[in-house]
Amino acid sequence: MNPSISPESESAGTRPVYRVYKRRFWGLAQLVLLNIVVSWDWLTFSSISTTAAQYFDVSESAINWMSTGFLFAFCAASPFVIWILNKGGPKPAIITTATLLLVGNWLRYAGTRANGGIFGLAMFGQILIGLAQPFCLCAPTRYSDLWFSDRGRTSATALASLANPLGAALGQLIDSAWATKPSEIPNMVLYISVISSVASIPSFFLPAAPPTPPSAASAIPRSPLIPAVRQLLGTLEFWLILIAFSVYVGFFNSVSSLLNQILSPHGFSETEAGIAGGILIVVGLVVAAIVSPLTDRYKHYLGTTRVLVPIVAASYIGLVFAPGSSAGIAPSYVVMAIMGASSFALLPVVLEYLVEITYPFSPEIGSTICWTGGQLLGACFILIQDALKADAFAHPPFNMRNALIFSAVVAVVAAPPPMVIGLFGRVVTRRRWDIDRGVEARDPDTVDADGPGRDRGADKAASEEIGVVHSSPSQTETAL
């Protein structure tokens, strides 16, 4: 029996019926939980950088290394993430995340509790959590492709991916309330460790894969890993997306890590900085919750990208002027809201669009490379912006205006590449969606992920070889 065809359809001698299962939401919920807690862990000390520096008796720059080391650890783990997701699917990646979270959190707690605080041990625990992050952050596109049909992939990717900044928002808001003075830091880390441990346990009981594919595109075998990576790196459209994605994710990481240091020179408290970070995330999540279902319905990936990218770039320009405004904290809140709305709405759209145009490459390849670029640049941006901080004789002392000017300039420079996708005679198709719709023929001048002139007849031949006949979305059923 062909495993890609449901028994009902095979026995009836009809075209296969692709099914989605309600159990898919359990795995999605677990991915959401893991991304929340791992991001919360990332910003545990950054959101209270002044208090943490006092507790460990180190500089704020040393506390910044808690975030920077976390991001570099992400980059180190990325090759293993691609391999595990490609060979084993989402479940081994989720289990790896849970294991590293459990060990890392309790080592970090030991580092804060023992001998009045051992910075090196706390940093080691932080790095282990950093190694855990890519296994859950890069999994959403692979998970949604494995479990969801074209009607829900973008929304599923959005929910799991944007849980990561939601965790950052919780870190910004809750950590500053739990640790108002240095002596409260060990208890704060204890609370976070307990929450992370409870959230990790269900990971070990998830199903590995659905009994039958959710769509025609999911049923077709993907290109082998090494050839797919080579072809992807030779694709112009991938690089156009990678540039903007890496820059904007990198600056989100650096702004989230340095937000307290951006606002505090202008007289704003850690609590107000936490509220600004919360606004960044909450507004972004609300807007993404509106945009993602619309994208699932209409598939306007490129048009949405062209609208949102300039808004993201403009928000970084606004951040240069907002902290020092005579109107107080309100302009910073407004800029954070605009930045969050545009960035969060853009993120899942770009990730899913990348999967569409690089099909039949496995989804985790492009998404992991993009996330790694964002984390690497985020670490670099934190170091650069920390170095651009003004000295004690500036007005106001230790302000980060030069660092914000740097972020604005780079954000504007990164805007054009994704805007020109599909222009200058290069036609980029949504290949995975075409397979789901049963569209096989196309113009020979179309540019796909493999370069000009690739005939989708190869995809048709692959699907016929495994006995899959492409059904329309109306044939998709929901099963228990």
Q: pLDDT per residue over 376-428, tens digit each? A: 998 899 889 989 999 988 989 999 999 999 999 999 999 999 999 988 777 77
Residue-number span of the structural domain to which 437 is assigned: 15-479
CA distance 314 to 132: 33
Q: What's residue 14's pLDDT? A: 58
Structure token digits, residue 212: 């039958």
Burial status of residue 384 (CB atoms within 10 A of its CB: 0-12, 13-18, 19 or more)? middle
Query: Within 10 A of 12 (CB to CB), how many other CB atoms are there?
Result: 11
* 116: alpha, beta or left? (left if phi > 0; alpha if psi -120 to 50): left
Q: What's residue 415's pLDDT? A: 96
- Domain assignment of residue 66, yes or no: yes
Burial status of residue 300 (CB atoms within 10 A of its CB: 0-12, 13-18, 19 or more)? middle
**In 3-state terms, what secondary structure has residue 316?**
helix
CA distance 433 to 168: 33
- Domain assignment of residue 318, yes or no: yes
**CATH number of 127's domain:** 1.20.1250.20
Q: What's residue 339's pLDDT? A: 95
CA distance 342 to 427: 26
Q: Count the domains in the chain.
A: 1
- Domain assignment of residue 445, yes or no: yes
User: Per DSSP, which regions of 184-339 are E strands?
Assistant: none
- Domain assignment of residue 2, yes or no: no
Q: What's residue 447's pLDDT? A: 39
Cβ 104 vs Cβ 132: under 8 Å:
yes
Q: What is the dihedral of CA 310, 313, 334, 256, to 10 degrees?
A: 140
Q: What's residue 11's pLDDT? A: 44
- Domain assignment of residue 7, yes or no: no
Q: What's residue 257's pLDDT? A: 79
- Domain assignment of residue 5, yes or no: no
Q: What's residue 65's pLDDT? A: 87
- Domain assignment of residue 165, yes or no: yes
- Domain assignment of residue 51, yes or no: yes
Structure token digits, residue 179: 């640790």
Which residues are registered as beta bridge partners of 427? none
Q: What percent of the chain has pLDDT over 90?
A: 44
Mean pLDDT in consecutive groups of 10 residues from the start of the chain, 480 residues: 42 65 91 92 81 88 85 91 91 95 94 88 93 92 87 84 81 81 91 93 91 81 84 91 94 86 90 86 89 84 92 96 93 95 92 86 89 91 91 91 96 95 78 65 37 39 33 36
Q: What's residue 369's pLDDT? A: 94
Q: What's residue 402's pLDDT? A: 95
Burial status of residue 364 (CB atoms within 10 A of its CB: 0-12, 13-18, 19 or more)? buried
Average pLDDT, the chain: 83
